[in-house]
Amino acid sequence: MNNNFEIASQGSAQTALQQNRVLRNTYMLLGLSMVPTVLGAMLGIQIQFSLLPGSPFLSFLLFMGIAFGFMWGVEKNKNSSLGVALLLGFTFFMGLMLSRLLQVALGFSNGGSMIALAAGGTGAIFFTLASVASVSKRDFSGMGKFLFVGMIVVLLAAVANIFFQIPALSLTIAAAVVAIFSAYILYDISRIVQGGETNYVSATLAVYLDIYNVFVGLLQLIMALTGERD
């Protein structure tokens, strides 16, 4: 009886160590992934990067194709150093794509402060929800299906708005993106803590996308509500 209890205790301790290791490695790689993102954004601003500027819909399709290609490669090679390299390449590409929105923001007289506010808000949301997921004993995995459906609805609305260009719909989409991907932060960190995700490369990819989308949504909202022209 005692031996069985000791074996169970050792198993629980090893599981906890594994989960802590995945979480720690995820945070380390997440921090590293921000470097190519910033470099890509800076380069994009310098060269005024825009992906097929004359055709927003084709630009969107090309972006999705490249992004999903990167994500497929990361998941395919998540157990090797190639997976890490592809992840960093993906974050550089996402920085390039982000530069277009940053260029628009910098066109406002208070552009720098709006970007800083969006970054600070994103950081506050991440640290708050990551802390809740890490400390809480609740399993948030049940949110996954609802969040996925919400993400698909928002994606379809975003595609529709490429053609309709309705300002109110743009604001609604931005607010929904912030809400959905904030909830995804809670969901993805919880999966790591609960042992549902055991690969830190996959975990980093998921959390990176959450943070990226929260920042984009926040910046769009802040620009719409507080942007000041010269």
Among 210, 67, 69, residue whose Cα is nearest residue 147 = 210
Task: Specify the pTM.
Answer: 0.91
- Provide the Cα torsion 140, 143, 144, 147; round to 10°: -140
For residue range 124-149, list pLDDT tens digits in order.
999 999 999 988 878 787 888 999 99
Q: How confident is the model at residue 122 (pLDDT cuts 50, 70, 90)?
A: very high
- The per-residue pLDDT for 3 is 55
Please tell me what DSSP assigns to residue 198: -
For residue range 77-110, list pLDDT tens digits in order.
999 999 999 999 999 999 999 999 999 999 999 9
Helix count and strand count (H, E) for the chain: 7, 0
Domain boundaries along the sequence of the chain = 2-34+99-226
- The per-residue pLDDT for 120 is 97
Does residue 1 sit in helix, strand or coil?
A: coil
For residue range 105-118, list pLDDT tens digits in order.
999 999 999 999 99
Residue 96 contacts by C-beta under 8 Å, 6 or more apart in sequence? 40, 41, 43, 44, 49
Contact between 14 and 72 (Cβ < 8 Å): no
193: how many CB neighbours lie within 10 A of its CB?
22
Contact between 230 and 109 (Cβ < 8 Å): yes
pLDDT at 11 over 50: no
For residue range 43-79, list pLDDT tens digits in order.
999 999 988 888 889 999 999 999 999 999 999 999 9
